[in-house]
Structure 1
C-alpha cells in the first residue's frame, strides 16, 4: 500500500513537471525590447505559453545577457537566447553553452545564415548600406569608395570599436585578409573620413547635409526615410565581382540543460517563422526577412534580390577580438 501511494505521488510530480515544462519559457534577449516584446506577446497569445523575458539594457547592449549566460553555465536560468547578431552566438557555442536544435522553420532560411550543426539559426536581418544626402553631387556604390579621392571629406562612419561597425570591420578583415583590410582603413584615414559616435548619429549627420554619405544599418536609414529626411538608400557592392553587402541576422539558440526544452523549441520555431519575420519587417526596425515570399515595406528589398557578402561568422567572431588593438590605434591617430 505504501509503495502504491509513493508511486501515485511520483506520477503526480512527474505530470506537474511536464506541465510546467510546456506552460512557460525563459528567454534572454539582446534585440531591442520595443521590437522583440510584441513578437513574444504574439507567441504567448498563439500558444498560451507564458514567456519570462530578460532584456539587455542600453548600457550593456548585446553583452549583458550574454555574460549572464556564461556566468550561469553550470546552473542555467534561460531556455532560449535571442541575439541581435551571430557573433555572440558563436562565443556561446565555443563555451558549450548551446545545444543543437534544427527547427522545422529553419528549412526556408538560406544556409549562409545558419550554423551548420544547428547550434543557432538566423532570421530577420539588418543589412549594412549607405544613407546618402539627396544634394550630394556624387553617390557611392561601394564600401571602398570611402578611400577614393573624389569622396575625400564627404563620408562619415560610426566608431569602429563598437556595435555593428565593429562586426563589419571584422567581416572585411575575414574577407580581405589583414594586409588588404589595414591598407583600406589607412586609405580611409588619409581620405578624412569622419567618425560618429553611432550609426544613428551618422544617419543624422547625412540627413542634415553635413556629410554626403554614411554606412549604417538598414533600420537607421529607413527611419530617416520615414521622417521625410532628404536622403536615399544605396545597397553597396552589388556589381559582378564586388563583395556584396554585409548582412546581420538576428539569431536564436537553445541553451544547454534548459529547464523547459519543449516550450523552448516551440518558441524557437515561432521566432523562425515567416509570421515573426513579417512583424519585424513592418516594425520601425524594418528588418529584412530571410524566408522567401514574406511581405515587406516598399522601402526594403527582399534578400533574394541582394548580393550578400559570404562570411564565416565563426571566423569573424575570432577576427573581431584580434583586430581590437589595431582599430583602437587607428582611431587614436
Structure 2
C-alpha cells in the first residue's frame, strides 16, 4: 500500500511539472469603457452570459471621461493592455484612429449601422446615441423656446450651468461649434458666458443636480443625465440644443478593437454584440434612454425614445471633426491653464 501511494504521488507531481494541469482557458477581455458603469455593466454581463467570455471593464471618472481613457490608450500603443474600447462618444475615438491605435473590423454589427455613424475603414462604429440638451427647472421658468432664448440673452447667467468643456460631451459640443462658427465666434461666445457669470461645473451630472435642485434655472447637459433627474420626480424638462436652425448634437457611443490585441476573434464577438439590435434595444429601454442608430423593432421603443429619434435625425455630422476637436482642445487647455 505504501508503494502504491508513493507511486500515485509521483504521478501527480510529474503531471503538474510537465504542464498537464487543467487548462485555465484564455484570459478575460479587457475593455476600457467611458460609458457609465451604471448602464454598461449590465450589457457586458449579458455578453458574458451568452458567450462565456469573461470581461474585465476599466472605467474612468466623470470629470475626465472619455479623454482620460483616450490618452491612456495612446500611451499604451506599443504595449496595449486593452482589447476593446467602448467610448461614450465619437471624437476621442477619431483621435485614436489618427494615432494608429485601432484595428479595422467590419462584421455583421458594422453592416447594420448607417454610414453616417461609422468609420469608412471600419476602425470604429457608432451605436446607441444621446443628445445634448438644455435641462430646465420648470418651477423657475417655462420650458419653451421663447423663455429659453430670453434666459440665454440675460445679462446675469449666475443661475445657469455648463460643464467645463475640457472633457466629455461638452468638449464635443464645443468642437461642433468650432466647426460651425469658427474659432473667433466660439471664443467670443465662451468669454461672454463667463463674463455673465455662468456656473462651470465638473461634469454634466453636476449640471443636472444644480438645475434639478433649483440652484440653477437651466443648464447644458445630455439626455441620459436629464432622465436621472426626471425619474427622481424633479421638476425638469428638456429642449434639444441646435447649432443652427435645424441641426442637433447627436453623440453616439462608439466601439473599436485595439491594434495588437491577442484576442482578436473574441474582441470581434464583443463588438458585434454591442452593435446588435438586441443591445441597442436594451440600451433604449434602460434608464438612460439611448437612441438606436441601426434598424430596430420600433414597437419596442418608448414614446420618449421615439421623440429622441426625431430630434437626433438632423444630427450634425461628427466623423470629420478630428482636426476641429484637436484645435479646440488645444485652445481650451491654454484657456484653463493654471
Select which of 308, 321, 328 maps to 1:313: 321
Structure 2: gaps of 5 or more residues? 1-22
Residues 223 and 80 (structure 1), Cα distance of their counterparts in 2 relative to 1, 3 Å cut: same
- Report Cα offsets for 1:244-284 as digits up to 9, x if no partner: 22122111101112211111111100001121112222323
Q: Is the 8 A contact 2:161 2:220 kept in 1?
A: yes
Aligned residue for 2:95? 91
- Report Cα offsets for 1:82-121 as digits up to 9, x if no partner: 1112232122212211121112222332322212221111
Counterpart CA distance in 2 for 1:97 and 1:305 is: 33
Q: Is the 8 A contact 2:257 2:268 kept in 1?
A: yes
- Report Cα offsets for 1:192-233 as digits up to 9, x if no partner: 433233222222222233332111111111111101111112
Residues 310 and 76 (structure 1), Cα distance of their counterparts in 2 relative to 1, 3 Å cut: closer
Aligned residue for 2:283? 280
Select which of 255, 269, 273 maps to 2:272: 269
TM normalised by structure 2 equals 0.80
Aligned residue for 2:256? 253
Report whether the alignment pairs 1:303 with 2:306.
Answer: no
Counterpart CA distance in 2 for 1:160 and 1:146 is: 23
- Report Cα offsets for 1:164-183 as digits up to 9, x if no partner: 22221122112211122223
Structure 1: gaps of 5 or more residues? 1-16
Counterpart CA distance in 2 for 1:93 and 1:82 is: 14
Select which of 33, 40, 53 maps to 1:36: 40
Select which of 204, 212, 216 maps to 1:211: 216
Deviation, 1:66, is 3.4
Any residues of structure 2 matched to 1:13-32 within 5 Å, and which? 25-32=29-36
Where 2:139 maps in the other structure, the secondary structure is coil
Deviation, 1:60, is 5.7
Any residues of structure 2 matched to 1:141-152 within 5 Å, and which? 141=145, 145=149, 148-150=152-154, 152=156
TM normalised by structure 1 equals 0.81
Select which of 324, 327, 333 maps to 2:332: 324
Q: Is the 8 A contact 1:243 1:309 kept in 2?
A: no
Larger Rg: 2
**Once structures 1 and 2 are overlaid, which stretch shifts more, 75-84 or 93-102?**
75-84
Kindly report the root-mean-square deviation, in angstroms, between the aligned alpha carbons of the 2 structures: 3.1
